[in-house]
Chain A
Amino acid sequence: MTNLPVTSESFTIPVGPLHVALEEPMYFRVAVDGETVTDVDINAGHVHRGIEYLATKRTLAQNMILTERICSLCSNSHPETFALAAETIAEMEVPERATYLRVVAGEVKRVASNLFNVAILAHLVGYEALFMHVMQVRELAQDLKEAVFGNRMDLGAICIGGTRYDLDEDTITALTVALDRLEPEIREIEKTYRTNGSIQRRTRGVGVLSIDDAIACGVVGPVARASGLMQDVRADAPYHAYDRLPLDVQTLPDGDVWSRAMIRLHEALDAIVILRACLRDLPDGPVNLGSDPYVPPGRAVARSEAPRGELLYYLKTCDAEEPERLKWRVPSFPNWDALTVMLNRAKVADIAIIVNSIDPCISCTER
């Protein structure tokens, strides 16, 4: 390779909007010098659906349904955070049992979402056996969701004032058994990602985001924590029952693709610890405040830690049943910008791996 003449000519190559390595459409215009990326321009808008406008034409109860459909992987986080905002305006006190049940729904989704991203990483590395194995393990989480909530993706677990589901002895047993099966599997997967040569070679030192760049870009979630930024809404601004649960927020110093995958695997394992504590401490009582609680005019912001990071909702209500304005900022939104830093000086072959490492959600981003 070194014998080839080196040209100073720079080329622009398109990646996307439809690309084998991207699950959703996004267009990157990448300037390359040989095999090295010199500049990236991101062109978005391929799945823009105007949901924010639609939300102002729907009642609050209808928006619980609508927001759950913004994105599939973090589908529970949207109605969860929206409900938090509405409850803040109405000064509602959510029943104790519901705060634990909400954590159960959120953490089950976190396990499945993080495993999915880590699986795709194995696929992009070209380690198809590992990809299929991780997806198989994720299937345990999918089955668990189907058994408890009746659905594999949209759980329909949250309502304003509490939850729409309850756990009885049988479902708690089913959950416990599923968690006991999941935990050793995820531990094994974590060990593989920690030690396997193919994974290490393609992910360590690749797509680095320094802590200074992480702060400047305002990144959130596993991307921030993998760059050494101690930040997790569940710990920083507790909601639900998180201030009573064994939350273990960890950071890694390197800010590379590998660190982001390891943080996600750690958080999948920690979610199981939290889930077990929830099932153990689950208080008795009602799970919601009855149907259609009244939300007076007012405004509120609410935050939660979705699998991909901080999700922020702003809700302004008026006398009408429809919100005057409903706005949300998904965790992927600030993380896109960090890609321009991560991709700078990267190898063309690593572009897909680096893009996947922010666990991008385009349906979320464009709404």
Chain B
Amino acid sequence: MLNFVRSFALVILAVCAAPLANAQLVIEITRGQENAVPIAIVPFGWESANAAPFDVAQVVAADLQRSGRFAPLDRKDMIDRPSAGDQIRFQDWRYLKSDFILVGKLTPQGADRYAAQFELYNVLNGQKLTGQQLTATTTSLRAMSHRIADIVFEQLTGIRGAFSTRIAFVSAEGTPPKQQYKLIVADADGENQQTIATSSEPIMSPAWSPDGQSLAYVSFETKSSAIYVQTLRSGERSRVSARSGINGAPAWSPDGSTLALTLSRKDGDVDIYTLKLSSQTLTRMTFDPGIDTEPSWSADGRKLYFMSDRAGGPQIYEIDVSQPERATRVTFEGSYNARPRLSPDGKQLAVVHLDRGNFRIAIVDLQSRGVQVLSPGRQDESPSFAPNGATLIYATQDRGRGVLATVSVDGRVQQRLAASSGDVREPVWSPFPPGR
């Protein structure tokens, strides 16, 4: 009977959630999980007559599952709901084959303020791994839940969690030639979508500033391309390059002072330049008659990786910003390597690689020059590293429509984030939030 009531309640919940979920990105796991660590994320306790304001455990479990490294225990398999360490009967959870358990409770702390106390235990030996308290307002409960997931992820993997970060992407709706283009910012799990720019002309190539406060992007709203920088919080926007010809592929230098960008100027020669934002000083970085574009900075700001078709087909090259005349070719495997993005540790490049007739996301090891294909699609593009380097987000196609997908850097775990409407492309992962 109780079970019946519970499943009925679940159905109602699902029905009520449907219109909401529709507007969000729905995550589908397409491959992986077999080596994931089993973990129990117990629903948080809530000591009040009213309904709990937020399901913290659900967000934590979804984050950990999406990382591909964890397999959260299904709630319906939980025979107990401890909310503090002294309530855990470890033998029960060992029987359920969970290696770790997260318990916690949410308590009201005055008007619109909540505290979440949580503890993480090793089920096998009963050892407490961490215990903390975080506070939030109603609107920041989701963000707080992502922080808890970050703490658990880092505790168990040694890798900083990226669940509190955001993504930006472009969506095109409607049928050509009448399309509506939107620049959208969302949480890394696809929730909290906000449209920050809309145009009937193309929008492309969003790029996060290193402090995560601004986006540079290309808009054709004046019927020619121009690069804009928009501050997210204030919505304030400035046009930083509207030169004759192409204004494209903006990439922020690590110190945020300079944009690398692609211009074709009057002569139509497509080359990379740097633009110092404070002085508008433009410095030419490539000099080849071929197409040179898609710059990506090294973490120390000394090098640029970019794509050039100077040798016939698109390949990746590297230059020293202080001596840009001398470019070194980086990729030799395959006839098409484009859109390089440097990994946070500087050791690998993610590229678009033509793999037996299919455009796929691949990793190029800068030391060995070896190429590893990560994605399975036909038309995959725009790879972007999570700031912890563990995952890549990219654009792929599903039945003729652009959708977003993620893949772990070892290629083992693949997932799709399907938007409800529109042709979605060019995802870019934000840097870590400041303050650590």
> Does A associate with B in a complex?
no
Q: Which residues of A contact B (CB under 8 A)?
A: none
Q: Which residues of B contact A (CB under 8 A)?
A: none
